[in-house]
Structure 1
Amino acid sequence: MSDQILLDKALKKVDYSFRWIGINIESSRKTKLQNFRYKFVYIFNFIWLNMDFSGAIAWFIVNARKGASFTMLTYVAPCLTMCFLFNTKCIFIYMSDNHINKLLSILRNLEIRHHDTSTPQKKEIIKTDSNFLFLVLKTLHFFNWFLLIAFPFMPLILMALDYYNAKEVLLKLPFQVVYPFNAYDIKYWPIAYLRQIWGTVIVVIGISGVDYFFFICVTCMCVQFNLLQYDFTTLANDRRNSLQTSEELHGRIVALVKWHQELIQSVHLLEVIYSKSILINFICSSLLICLSGFNVMTIDDKPYIISFGSFLFMSLFQILSLCYFGDMLMRSSVKVSDAVYNSNWYITKSDICKELNIIQMRAQKPCKLTAYSYADVNLTAFAKILSTSWSYFALLRTIYGSPRV
């Protein structure tokens, strides 16, 4: 049964992200050996990435002291921001292992419980929401792979162009990193190049894996909210229901209230898991969009423009998806109140009407996710991020004009 529900289908489709990075989702369902393997992979990738991350910070500090141009410094800034974002996202996921196990247990039990009682209308609700989720996941897969190809392999294209124009091979690397050896020596250059390519893979797949898990959980919650709306709407949808005893209707209402309470609890768990990382994501996204846009406008090399353009587009789509799913969760939770109102409550007895009125008032308070209580995760937050990024971008353009690379 569990392999047929939306939660398990979606997790199976993105399982490769978790395995490659060592993100251990639902450790309670894995053996000790599997949990050890996940930890080993994560620690290995963490050390591998942060050695280059430290080298990039060192390069930034050294060249800033030497008086390097602002454009040259901003070239590495988006990469540093992405590495920092990867570290924080993954760390908060690992710190929330118990909450994740509890959240997935609730969502899985809810889906299994209502799977056998699904009517054609309910199945259509599940199909619509699941199709949207898988469409978003496929779109993000495409952009992530494009970024993985565009950014790490762009130096090879530039080297080929240099050789075509000057008949000379000038070794280049995707990122500016300080190593304890000369990375541009032909003996060490392949090692440095492969290190940076794998570092890019770690960052892109790691960030996307954490985001995928967020999208899957939110979609499963929205499906349950939509099914709950359907059950409330059909609670007293014809005159025959009014002939039921108050005890029978009360029993159905109690079951729906418990269902609603479990969903509220699941949203709270997701808030605990993601609220801090979302706040950092909002801040980093503002910087990423601003600096990537600045690089696109100021860098003269077309290959690098393509690289930073794809980087900019991916950053926009990532934060848009995050805010859209948060907005979708808020809207689906609030609509429970409308469903109670449309339940033909007026044909029920007075005690049932009072119960439905209490439920309606509670459902008017949206279940929402926040950036550590700083801002709600919705489309309004996305508009604010764009506004902030544009303000920073305009300030940089005003101060530095169009500097040369």
Structure 2
Amino acid sequence: MDNEAFLLENHLKSLKLLAHYGGFSLDSKCRTLKTKLRDLSVYLLNFFWLNSDLVGGIYWFVDGLAKGNSLIALTYIAPCITYSFMANCKGFFLLKYEFEINEVIDSLKALELKNARGKDKEKRRIMEEETKFLGIVIKISNVINVLLVLTFATSSLILTVYKYMKTKKLDLILPFPIVYPFDSHDIRYWPFVYIHQIWSD
């Protein structure tokens, strides 16, 4: 802490990267109109991508209900629809309260700076312990997120290869059963739809 390499800032790096790809900023000090417009464009692109899959998933669910599909088949898409609604709510509130979130982060940084320069060793020890705990939570959260995405990304690829090895017929499987206005299992579109679904995930 003597060289003022702040623990909180180090732990925020991975969160800032994720926020950047979501169209948000966790760094209020270096924002210009250009960066705000760029972030908003990224957010809107992600919003469109996510909700195009959400609409297709809802359509698949409703169509399955109308056709009398089994409850087990219908529940396959239900968690995805729920997570998509949650992602929309989370994104909306992150965008709406972005200024307040950055104010809290700036206040925490100022508090850390004040305590780092102070002479109270007990306060510094507690602060270092708590920031280490924060780092562990962030790392575990990142690992779980990566594992979830990898599970969704690889499971349909593994099933596609397995079915091909067993039947010698290529049945292109996607991670989520979503209806598109084109044949998403056509080899010309399948790779793009696959990437689209993984990014939306």
Query: TM-score scaled by structure 2?
Result: 0.91
The residue that corresponds to 1:74 in the other structure is 75
* Deviation sequence 1:203-243 (CA, Å, 0-9, x none): xxxxxxxxxxxxxxxxxxxxxxxxxxxxxxxxxxxxxxxxx
The letter for the 2-side match of 1:39 is L
Q: What's 1:100 paired with?
A: 101
Identify the residue that residue 129 of structure 2 maps to in structure 1. 128
Offset of residue 113 of structure 1: 2.1
> 2-side partners of 1:76 and 1:179: how far apart?
15
Confirm or deny: 8 A CA contact 1:3 1:9 kept in the other structure: no
Residue by residue over 1:26-54, the C-alpha shift from the partner in whole angstroms, topping out at 9 and shown as x without a partner, is: 43542222222111111111111111111
Question: Relative to structure 1, is the Cα distance of residues 3 and 152 closer, same or farther in structure 2, using a 3 angstrom cutoff?
Answer: farther
* 1:56–1:97 distance in 2 versus 1, CA, 3 Å: same
1:282-293 alignment, distance < 5 Å: none
Structure possessing the higher radius of gyration over alpha carbons: 1
Counterparts of 1:142 and 1:74 in 2: how far apart (Å)?
26
1:63 matches 2:64 = yes
Counterparts of 1:31-50 in structure 2 under 5 Å? Answer: 31-50=32-51
Q: 1:3 to 1:177 in 2, by over 3 A?
A: farther
Q: Which runs of 5+ in 2 are unaligned?
A: none
Query: Which residue of 2 is the match for residue 180 of structure 1?
Result: 181
Q: CA deviation at 1:145?
A: 1.0
Structure 1 segments of 4 or more deviating over 3 A?
Answer: 26-29
State the distance in 2 between where 1:94 and 1:3 align. Answer: 30
Structure 2 residue identity aligned to 1:87: N
Q: Is the 8 A contact 2:8 2:131 kept in 1?
A: no
Distance, in Å, in 2 between the alignment partners of 1:3 and 1:30 is 23
* Letter in structure 1 aligned against 2:172: L
Q: How far apart, in 1, do the equivalents of 2:4 and 2:44 lie?
A: 30
Percent identity between the two aligned chains: 35
Q: Secondary structure at the match of 2:164?
A: helix
Matches within 5 A, 1:110-121: 110-121=111-122
Question: SS of the counterpart of 2:188?
Answer: coil
Output the TM-score relative to the length of structure 1: 0.47
Q: Deviations over 1:254-305 (max 9, x none)?
A: xxxxxxxxxxxxxxxxxxxxxxxxxxxxxxxxxxxxxxxxxxxxxxxxxxxx
1:142 maps to which residue?
Answer: 143
How far apart, CA to CA, are the structure 2 residues paired with 1:140 and 1:13? 11
Is 1:85 matched up with 2:86? yes
Distance of 1:93 and 1:131 partners within structure 2: 25
Letter in 2 for 1:162: K
Kept after mapping to 1: 8 A contact 2:23/2:42: yes
In 1: Cα distance, 2:82 partner to 2:124 partner: 42
What's 1:8 paired with? 9
Task: Verify: 1:192 aligned to 2:200, yes or no.
Answer: no
Note if contact 1:26-1:97 (Cα within 8 Å) is conserved in structure 2: no
Aligned-residue Cα RMSD (Å) equals 1.9
**Structure 1 residue matching 2:25: 3-state secondary structure:** coil
**Separation (CA, whole Å) in 2 of partners of 1:105 and 1:2:** 19
Distance 1:48 1:2 in 2: 43
Q: Which residue of 1 aligns with 2:171?
A: 170
Larger RCO (CA within 8 A; separation ≥ 6): 2
Label 1:3 to 1:111 Cα distance change in 2 as closer, same or farther (>3 A). Answer: same
Shift of 1:164: 1.6
Q: State the alpha-carbon separation in 2 of the partners of residues 71 and 184 from structure 1.
A: 22
Alpha-carbon distance, 1:162 to partner: 1.0
**Long gaps (5+) in structure 1:** 201-405
Deviation at 1:92, TM superposition (A): 0.7
Counterpart amino acid of 1:178? V
Distance of 2:119 and 2:42 partners within structure 1: 40
Q: How does 1:274-353 map to 2 (within 5 A)?
A: none
